Chain A
Amino acid sequence: METRLLALNADPVFQDRALAILDQIESLETQIVRNLSEAVQALLEENFDGLLIEGDAALAVDQATNLRQHFPSLTIACLLQGGRRSDISLRAKEQNIELLSGARSDRRLGATLTRFVRSLDTQAGAASEGIDPCHSLIGNLNQFSAAEILQMSCLSQRSGRFTFKSGRGNSEIYLQQGSVRHAVFGSVEGEAAVAEIFRWRQGRFYFEEGIISQEQTVNRPWAHLLIDNLQKLDETLELVSV
């Protein structure tokens, strides 16, 4: 399976050193965007295993931080032109953004980029097929959004586990008497995982009645989560140009 990488580069025709190296990596498909709004649009529409932002260190980390707020589980790396400052490194670490140094020889840059590409998780979850009798609710996210089905289940005071499967991977949301108790998507847990699932436009979901999580990573009422995440989604969409 091909790894899909989104590259944010403001000047991809003339500043193409890294892009030329990425071209040479087998089983990698790279899509190039020039600005933040194009990146948001691409990330909303398609599944990418990672995002590489090229440019001046401060600007690249700013853009990465901005995108991290909207895509909490995305693997983001910044390929920095020039040196890195300690404050930038600290900010990147806080936001789980990898910093790659671009001021090296082509060979070393090639090794750095190849390592980054290989580190991307390519184990995209395959959508489950078939109907299991223990699934009390099954559907597609392109017909009902995650917000709609969670709203419906919370209003009817359900307890159980929602499993969402898409090209991005699998995620689970546990409900207990109409409240979200626990959410997990890969290494992301809690409200960040709920926020991630809110953005999914494609995939399948099913609900298994009565499965309760021992863990509790979400403490706020569903109504607050819904309002916050819908507001966040609106803000994400605002970043997308006309």
Chain B
Amino acid sequence: MRDKDLETKLRLVTLQLENWKKLHDLITYGLDKAKPIISTEQEHQFTEIRGNLLQEIEYVFRELNMVAEVSGKAMSVLQRGVSVRGVRDLSNEEVRRLETDWNGVFTKLGLMQGHLKARRKDLAEQTAFSYYLNRLLQRPATAR
């Protein structure tokens, strides 16, 4: 069986991870001094991804109950990385902070995705009847 809430969370976390990966690809490109040319298309893509993340992170992290854990780090990445060219001009210390914060967000989201996939796998092995029966039987006893 499929759980609606679980599927929604999994979809949200997958979309977030995709965007964070793409952002990282562009940040890595920006930091690579061996690649001097930054195209307008790359800048456009960076702005698009950053825009999507800015409008979605608060909602998505709240849905995933991760606001306290990753919201600060996510905002730190998005505020430091304003453009591909802007990333190239950051100081070494700021680059280090940017990468640490990105890694923090990515790790948490990856863990959450794994957790949700494991729950989905468990659910897929159950029928709706056995799921509700288990829930009923596993209810903690209440004192009278």
Question: Is B105 in contact with chain A by the CB < 8 A criterion?
Answer: no
Q: Are A24 and B2 in contact (CB under 8 A)?
A: yes
Question: Is B8 in contact with chain A by the CB < 8 A criterion?
Answer: yes
Q: Are B39 and A26 in contact (CB under 8 A)?
A: no
If A20-B7, A32-B15 are given as contacts, then 17 extra A-B residue pairs at C-beta distance below 8 Å, sorted by A number, are: A12-B11, A13-B12, A13-B15, A13-B60, A14-B56, A16-B8, A16-B11, A20-B4, A23-B2, A23-B8, A23-B11, A24-B2, A26-B2, A32-B14, A241-B45, A242-B42, A242-B45
The majority secondary structure among interface residues of chain B is helix
Interchain pairs with CB closer than 8 A, number: 34
Contacts of B107 in A (CB 8 A): none
Chain B residues 13 to 60 lying within 8 A of chain A, measured CB to CB, are: 14-15, 39, 41-42, 45, 52, 56, 59-60
In the assembled complex, the CB of B92 is this many whole angstroms from the nearest CB of chain A, namely: 26
Contacts of B59 in A (CB 8 A): 13-14
Q: Are B45 and A23 in contact (CB under 8 A)?
A: no
Question: Is A220 in contact with chain B by the CB < 8 A criterion?
Answer: no
Asked if A23 meets B41 with Cβ closer than 8 Å, knowing A13-B12, A13-B15, the reply is no
Question: Is A188 in contact with chain B by the CB < 8 A criterion?
Answer: no
Q: List 13 A-B contacts (CB under 8 A).
A: A12-B11, A13-B15, A13-B56, A14-B56, A16-B8, A16-B11, A19-B11, A23-B2, A23-B11, A32-B14, A241-B41, A241-B45, A242-B42
**Residue from the list B2, B4, B15 in contact with A12, Cβ < 8 A:** B15
Contacts of B2 in A (CB 8 A): 23-24, 26
Chain B residues 84 to 122 lying within 8 A of chain A, measured CB to CB, are: none
Q: Quick one: which of B11, B39, B42, B52 has the most chain A CB within 10 A? A: B11
In the assembled complex, the CB of A165 is this many whole angstroms from the nearest CB of chain B, namely: 30
Question: Is A108 in contact with chain B by the CB < 8 A criterion?
Answer: no
In the assembled complex, the CB of A15 is this many whole angstroms from the nearest CB of chain B, namely: 12
Contacts of B39 in A (CB 8 A): 242
A14 to B52, CA, bound (A): 11
Q: Which residue of A lies closest to B26 (CB)?
A: A242
In the assembled complex, the CB of A162 is this many whole angstroms from the nearest CB of chain B, namely: 37
A20 to B10, CA, bound (A): 11
Binary interface encoding of chain A residues 31-50 relative to chain B, with 1 for a CB under 8 A from any of its CBs, else 0: 01010000000000000000
In the assembled complex, the CB of B74 is this many whole angstroms from the nearest CB of chain A, namely: 14
How extensive is the interface on chain A, given as a class? Answer: 10 to 19
A152 to B125, CA, bound (A): 51
Q: Are A242 and B41 in contact (CB under 8 A)?
A: yes
Q: Which residue of B lies closest to A31 (CB)?
A: B14
Asked if A23 meets B7 with Cβ closer than 8 Å, knowing A12-B15, A242-B42, A242-B45, the reply is yes
A20 to B11, CA, bound (A): 9
Q: Are B41 and A32 in contact (CB under 8 A)?
A: no
A24 to B39, CA, bound (A): 41
In the assembled complex, the CB of A23 is this many whole angstroms from the nearest CB of chain B, namely: 4
Asked if A32 meets B11 with Cβ closer than 8 Å, knowing A241-B41, A242-B41, A242-B42, the reply is yes
In the assembled complex, the CB of A30 is this many whole angstroms from the nearest CB of chain B, namely: 8
A32 to B11, CA, bound (A): 9
A17 to B46, CA, bound (A): 27
Q: Which residue of A lies closest to B16 (CB)?
A: A13
Q: Are B4 and A24 in contact (CB under 8 A)?
A: yes
